[in-house]
Structure 1
Amino acid sequence: MFLLLALSSLASRAPDTGASQCTELNGCRRMFDIVWGCLVTVVACIWVSVHPNVPAPSPKEPEKSAGQWNWLIWHLRDTLGPLKQRLKLMFAALLAPELIVGFAGRQLWMARSFAEKYDVSLAHGFFIGMGGFIDDDGHPIVTCAQISANPDLLIGIQSVSTATLKDKSKGDLFSKGIALCQGLWFVAQCIARRVQNLPLSELEVATLAFATINAFTWLLWWGKPLDVRDPIVIHSPRPAEPRVPPYVSRVTQLLILFTGVCSDDEFAPGATGVTSVPAFWCAATADISDASYTLAMACEFLCAVLFGAIHLAAWGNAFPTPFESWLWRAATLAIVAPPAILVCLTALDAFSNVVNFFPSDTLGNAFLSIGGIFYATGRLFLLVLPFTTLRALPYKTFVDVDWSVYVPHL
């Protein structure tokens, strides 16, 4: 809603004086060039970086005698199911890219853990964690408890070749190459503008932050199969055990969203009714080690600090009003300080067992709650301000980079 108000305000504003002052034919850029370049970069980076888990099974096909309307509904449900899971990850990457980095990091460490423990490839490890293997009943095989309870499952997983898993992946070099080139081109423009003392708009600074953080996500998920629609069935001669419907509380769902870790109970060997892993599933609590979890959290906090630090590049920009200038600075500090403190606390907690940061859990929870409120408020303002400030950009913002300085020419 805030974003729509900002855009409507921008659309109804008076003609921009900065853009009107830049009259050189080949040395200026338009407002459309700035906005379009930023939006394309953000969408391309997020679209390529997110690697969703295996979605729920496709709905059952209607009978051949069914009408065209029924077939149309089936095709829509079959298409929108996986797309919904991907869009959910993209939305999270847009609002909180550092959470997706932490999620990707936990999945990578779990994939390595599975690969070492069961003597399989990293792709197999990712495939286990993302719900790519299911048993004869359609139940995802994602925990060590399941594999330990039925050794035939491990034999079946090891028999699947790495080439088969790569063939399941929908990733292609063309789409990744386009996104990579767009991201590198945008970063090169930002660097060149700084070298030539040309200011970046606040929208470009925010876009640079998103592109940088999503690059980490892309690297962490480099070996994860992309857009796998159908899981691989691992057949087992052992009879199925009695099944009971799982129960996932609201608190557990929020825990899955923010940490990517939930209880073993949902995927215990005796559970049923679950045909796919949650969108933010990483591992069962019994499978992920404390060291891996702490390291992933530290990386998550570091990315949050980096994301905010990049916004500091607009600290001295000429804002439309002094209020917006101080609001940008306050919002930037609000998203840098809390995760920076948490990084220090996490590091001290990881390497020292004698430091007690908070005398009680109540004080610790209060710190996290207050820090979370500051962080969320700062993020909200940094989503809106890049668009509201477009109404009055300085003249030099519309001056294009002189690439002839770097390219040899006659």
Structure 2
Amino acid sequence: MDPTPAANLTWGWVSSGNDRGTSDILWGSLSTIYLCTWTCLCLNFPRLGEEQSWRFLFYKFRWQLFAIFFPEVLVATTAEQWLSAYQSVRIFRGMGYNGWTIRHGFYADMGGIKVAPPDAEPFPVDSHQLSFLVKNNYIPMPQISSDDITAVDKADGFARLITLIQICWFSLQCIGRGIQHIGLSPLELTTIAFILCTLHDYFFWYYKPLDPLRPEILPMEISMKEICEKEEARQTYIFTPLDFVSSPPDAKSLIAPFWFGISVVFDHGKDKEPKPRQTFPNTRILPAEGITWGMMWYCLFFQVVYFGLHLSVGWLLAFPSRVEWYLWTVANFADLGLITVYCIALPLGTYFAPWIGRKIFGVEGATSILEVANMLPYWAKLAVHGPFVVAYIGARAIVLTESLITLRALPAPLYEDVNWADFLPHL
């Protein structure tokens, strides 16, 4: 469908009068996006030095920008973190520890529990690694209650309540405008997409503590050298000496390749953190029992709904020019297409990974495409992943930019307010 002809558009800034103006559309949408992307964030423990107030705010601000550019990726991340915490409950209760809750699982996975062996610096353990230590009697079960975790949880119920009220009011307005056929602007459609993502983030991170800054430290009597010898494990690692406990990224994960590509492009493929790591990055998600098929299909379905919302409703919106309408459509199709390519490449890569590892790199036992990708030299990793990452970010930037600049020319009905009296029974 072609965009509304330029002759039917109202150009320039429209002041508020009896109906709404440009400022009402702009600030109503931007305030909703800001509240959604700030209050939904429940991040892992920050790196050393980032606990200070201004550094911590900058740490959260960086992730707020990520939530603005990649809200659909954040939803998949929260879903897999929830799955990891949920699986930890089943593991610990299978060991007889019925007091372990999903809140405990989140707390451990975000770096809230550290162990202090005699031959190494204290380092964090996730829920899977902690269950390994407890099961093998390397440490006693930590006595951390749900109340202890709640005490360090800085969750601001009032801020989330304000956000939910704003979400409800904004959504009601959009529904009312749809029923009365007075239309939405591209910025309001983008805001609806943010609301959809935020509600998912709230659900999956409901039990995750917000902004705890002091982890629990558990002393160990046995050394890591003794544990590695008993378990016949390598002492080389990437994050912590217990890396050998964690399973490799599941091939069914939709976001593991994304994070790998991001690290290649923006971290230059190098691990600059001192070892052992003192925190777990927000990108590290390794459910002990792997990604379930149900979770994989749900995340895939969500991606289709998210981009389908932009495409199905976006085709009906008015744009100042035909070129901008094409830019919006092509950009959304590009992001959806890149995700589709990833979804096709993952199972194919997993199937051919053993053959590629053996024939090209002379390595036996490769189980996933990410293992094979890690064998590549940095320039090859960048050549493979760089175009995908740049194209994805570029397409997303076009959608966000178009959402804003289309405010310079909108159809006149978009400046009408919803006539709520039409929804009330006449007496």
Q: Per-residue displacement from partner, 1:42-95 (whole Å, max 9, x unpaired)?
A: 111111111100123558xxxxxxxxxxxxxxxxx7113332332232221111
Within 5 Å, give how 1:35-54 maps onto structure 2.
35-54=26-45
**Residues 154, 216 of structure 1: alpha-carbon distance in 2 compared, 3 angstrom cutoff:** farther
Q: 1:112 aligns with which of 72, 83, 86?
A: 86
Matched to 1:276, the amino acid is: T
TM-score, normalised to structure 1's length? 0.73
Residue 160 of structure 2 is matched in structure 1 by 176
Q: Per-residue displacement from partner, 1:205-227 (whole Å, max 9, x unpaired)?
A: 11111111222122111111111
Q: 1:164 aligns with which of 116, 133, 148?
A: 148
8 A contact 1:54–1:132 mirrored in 2: yes
Q: State the number of aligned residues.
A: 352
Higher helix share: 1
8 A contact 2:177–2:183 mirrored in 1: yes
**Residues 123, 106 of structure 1: alpha-carbon distance in 2 compared, 3 angstrom cutoff:** same
8 A contact 1:305–1:336 mirrored in 2: yes
**Residues 323, 217 of structure 1: alpha-carbon distance in 2 compared, 3 angstrom cutoff:** same
8 A contact 1:41–1:182 mirrored in 2: yes
Matched to 1:131, the amino acid is: G
- Distance in 1, matches of 2:126 and 2:290, equals 19
Task: Give the 3-state SS of the residue equivalent to 1:160 in structure 2.
Answer: coil
8 A contact 2:138–2:222 mirrored in 1: no
CA-based RMSD of the aligned residues comes to 4.1
Residue 366 of structure 2 is matched in structure 1 by none
- Distance in 2, matches of 1:259 and 1:79, equals 30
Residue 259 of structure 2 is matched in structure 1 by 258
Q: 2:68 aligns with which of 94, 118, 127?
A: 94
**Residues 367, 134 of structure 1: alpha-carbon distance in 2 compared, 3 angstrom cutoff:** closer
Within 5 Å, give how 1:8-87 maps onto structure 2.
17=11, 25-26=17-18, 28-57=19-48, 78-87=52-61
Residue 285 of structure 2 is matched in structure 1 by 282
**Residues 272, 370 of structure 1: alpha-carbon distance in 2 compared, 3 angstrom cutoff:** closer
Task: Give the 3-state SS of the residue equivalent to 1:393 in structure 2.
Answer: strand
How many percent of aligned residue pairs carry the same amino acid?
24
Structure 1: gaps (5+ residues): 1-14, 60-76, 355-359
- Distance in 1, matches of 2:52 and 2:385, equals 41
- Distance in 2, matches of 1:180 and 1:90, equals 18
8 A contact 1:18–1:394 mirrored in 2: no
Within 5 Å, give how 1:372-387 maps onto structure 2.
375-387=392-404
- Distance in 2, matches of 1:18 and 1:198, equals 19
Q: Per-residue displacement from partner, 1:155-195 (whole Å, max 9, x unpaired)?
A: 343x2111111222111321111111111211111111111
Residue 63 of structure 1 is matched in structure 2 by none
8 A contact 1:302–1:339 mirrored in 2: no
- Distance in 1, matches of 2:343 and 2:256, equals 20
8 A contact 1:17–1:395 mirrored in 2: no
Task: Give the 3-state SS of the residue equivalent to 1:234 in structure 2.
Answer: strand
8 A contact 2:113–2:215 mirrored in 1: yes
Q: Per-residue displacement from partner, 1:377-396 (whole Å, max 9, x unpaired)?
A: 43221011111211111111
- Distance in 2, matches of 1:335 and 1:173, equals 34
- Tell me how far 1:301 sits from its aligned partner: 3.6
Matched to 1:389, the amino acid is: T
- Tell me how far 1:369 sits from its aligned partner: 7.7
8 A contact 1:104–1:220 mirrored in 2: yes
- Distance in 2, matches of 1:409 and 1:45, equals 36
Residue 65 of structure 1 is matched in structure 2 by none
Within 5 Å, give how 1:232-243 maps onto structure 2.
232-238=216-222
TM-score, normalised to structure 2's length? 0.70
Q: 1:155 aligns with which of 140, 149, 158?
A: 140
- Distance in 1, matches of 2:306 and 2:111, equals 31
Task: Give the 3-state SS of the residue equivalent to 2:30 in structure 1.
Answer: helix
- Tell me how far 1:127 sits from its aligned partner: 0.9
Structure 2: gaps (5+ residues): 1-8, 94-99, 229-234, 240-248, 250-254, 264-270, 353-359, 361-368, 373-380
Which range moves more in the overlay, 139-148 or 109-118?
A: 139-148
Matched to 2:157, the amino acid is: L
Residue 128 of structure 1 is matched in structure 2 by 108
Task: Give the 3-state SS of the residue equivalent to 1:200 in structure 2.
Answer: coil
8 A contact 2:85–2:127 mirrored in 1: no
Matched to 1:124, the amino acid is: H
Residue 405 of structure 1 is matched in structure 2 by 422
Residue 208 of structure 1 is matched in structure 2 by 192
